[in-house]
């Protein structure tokens, strides 16, 4: 094998890079929209929460949420970009990527 030696420090650094960065202020704004539109409590809106299974949101709820997020963050989210979005974390990453 070639390349730099693998050390605990290099492993920790590599692992740290993979973790998504969450801007707490941004996530709180995202969460506020989700709480209002989906009629759920703040503690339910966590990155691993699944819209359908955990938040009981249907496709109309998600359309309304996206509209609220577009207005809150002054962004546009094309419908095709929503395909495959199943969790709060995925939706947050999509929004954060447009800012």
- The answer to whether 58 is a known catalytic residue is yes
Catalytic residue among 58, 61, 74, 93: 58
Please list, in sequence order, all residues whose beta carbon lies within 8 angstroms of the beta carbon of residue 91, skipping any fewer than 6 positions away.
30, 51, 65, 69, 85
Beta-carbon count within 10 A of 55 CB = 19
Among left, alpha and beta (phi > 0; psi -120 to 50; other), residue 21 is beta
The CA dihedral of 62, 85, 68, 70, to the nearest 10 degrees, is -140
Q: What are the residue numbers of the active site? A: 58
């Amino acid at each position: 094998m070639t390349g730099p030696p693998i050390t605990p420090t290099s492993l920790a650094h590599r692992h740290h890079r993979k973790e998504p960065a969450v801007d707490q202020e941004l996530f709180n704004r995202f969460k506020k929209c989700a709480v209002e539109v989906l009629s759920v409590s703040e503690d339910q809106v966590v990155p691993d929460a699944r819209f359908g299974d955990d938040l009981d949101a249907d496709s109309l709820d998600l359309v309304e949420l996206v509209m609220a997020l577009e207005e809150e963050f002054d962004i546009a989210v094309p419908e095709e970009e929503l395909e495959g979005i199943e969790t709060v974390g995925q939706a947050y990453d999509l929004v954060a990527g447009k800012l």
